[in-house]
Amino acid sequence: MLPLPPSSWTVFWAALATAACTGLGALPLLWRRAPGPLARGRGNAVAIGLMTAASVSLIAEGQQLGRLGTVAGLLLGTVGIAGARRWLAGRNLDRLARPGALLEGRATDLRRMVLIVGVMTLHSAAEGIGVGVAYGGGSAFGSFISASIALHNIPEGLAISLVLVPQGVPVWAAALWSVFSSLPQPLLALPAFWFVEAVRPLLPLGLGFAAGAMFWMVWAELLPAALDDAEAGDVALVAGLSLAAMLAFQSLLGG
């Protein structure tokens, strides 16, 4: 008996589950609510390693589908996030720091938090399209890709939380922001599934765009913040270890 083709509901719930897994990344921070400067610097270093590994993975996936599209996406992502940073620099974010707000801290920290949530949201958009395209190849392949992305999303949620929690955001709110950053996955998985042949050529561009934005975030925001709180050798060691761990984890999933 031939397996039934995936339904729209199957694709939507699978993508929603991948988004929910992002919130699990905040759970380790329940045991470290108020990190000092050194812990904050090392936390940023872990985020640097995780985001760099995710970017490398996105580029590798994109090049398999289309090298020129991936390179174009990298350029657009870098320029786009740099433009967003300039735009945010001219905005008054103090109102987000009022008592009871989910984001608390200085304007510089708020911009960094807004940027990382925005960058990871762009990343999730590319992954959501990937889920829909994968289900276009059948239920088995779609389920495998969804499970892989769900597991990837946990350390990505940790990367977001490591930036948010040290700036005064409660762990529960960091988990919500992490899930929020992954909402494009269920929202874009369905259109990608419905129009898989039309969307497939755009996937390398989306993957490259997300990778370029994440690279910019690492070099322009997270690295300087980490070096403000910890020694360069400490930052390099922790970032390198987290990068290696994430790449090894991705290799296991791919194997």
Give domain status of residue 197, yes or no.
yes
Average pLDDT of the chain, as a whole number: 80
* Residue 188 lies inside a defined structural domain of this protein: yes
Note the pLDDT of residue 214: 83
Which residue would you say has higher pLDDT here, 49 or 88?
49
Question: Does 1 map to a domain?
Answer: no
Whole-angstrom Cα distance, residue 26 to residue 102?
15
More confident residue, 127 or 66: 66
Q: Looking at the domain assignment, is residue 2 inside a domain?
A: no
Ranked by mean pLDDT, the top range of 9-18, 28-37, 38-47 is 9-18
pLDDT recorded at residue 92: 56
By CB atoms closer than 10 A (0-12, 13-18, 19+), residue 191 is middle
In a domain, 202, yes or no: yes
What's the pTM?
0.73
- Specify the pLDDT at position 101: 46
pLDDT of residue 175: 92
* pLDDT value for 99: 39
Q: What percent of the chain has pLDDT over 90?
A: 13
- Residue 225 placed within a domain: yes
Task: List, for residues 56-110, the tens digit of each pLDDT value.
Answer: 888 888 888 889 999 998 998 888 888 877 776 656 554 444 434 444 445 556 6
Q: What is the pLDDT of residues 138-185, one digit of tens each?
A: 787 778 778 877 877 888 888 888 878 877 788 888 899 989 988 888
Is 170 within a domain? yes
pLDDT score at 126: 79
Closest listed residue to residue 123, CA positions, set 64, 59, 175: 59
183-221 pLDDT per residue, tens = 888 998 888 888 887 888 888 888 888 888 888 888 888
Q: Which residue has the tokens 């892989």?
A: 148
Domain hosting 39: range is: 8-254
Confirm whether 138 is domain-assigned.
Answer: yes
Place of tokens 């599209």: 69
Look-up: residue for tokens 């936390």? 43
Mean pLDDT value of segment 113-137: 79
How high is the pLDDT of residue 28? 83
What does the alpha-carbon distance between residue 62 and residue 104 come to, in Å, rounded to a whole number? 36
- Report the number of distinct structural domains present in the chain: 1
pLDDT tens-digit readout, 220-249: 888 998 898 899 999 999 999 999 988 888
Q: Which has more confidence, 30 or 137?
A: 30
